[in-house]
Amino acid sequence: MCTGIVETAEVSGSGKGPRGWFKLERVNVSYDHPSDALIEYALNIDFVNQKEGPSARVAVELSPESARKLAQAILTALSQVALAVSDSPSRTS
């Protein structure tokens, strides 16, 4: 850990790793050296399940600009949720 910039959050959902789908329990978001991306520092997002070991991980390494676009895209999509749900036809019909 070089920069020490790490934020964590508990999450629920599923992620697909090298061994297939697994339940997610936590996301670690850091700004530090990437393992693969060809940039000096990256915004790293690791979706993990610690109970299943270190390999239970879905990872992305993004440039800061890409990370902001992702964050904005997530928020924009979520802002449409209420509208989309209220406009959708009833499934009971």
Residues that bind another protein (CB under 8 A): 1-4, 6, 8, 26, 28, 30, 32-33, 35-36, 38-41, 44, 46, 48, 50, 53-55, 57, 59
* Backbone torsions φ then ψ of 63, nearest 5 degrees: -65, 155
Beta strand pairing call for 20-32 and 5-17: antiparallel
Give residue for tokens 């999450």.
Answer: 11
Question: Which CB sits closer to another protein, 39 or 77?
Answer: 39
Q: Which is nearer to another protein, 1 or 84 (CB)?
A: 1
**Between residues 26 and 70, which has the closer beta carbon with respect to another protein?**
26
Closest distance between another protein and the C-beta of residue 68, in Å?
19
Contacts of 18 (CB under 8 A, 6+ apart): 55
Q: What would the two tokens of residue 74 be?
A: 């997530």
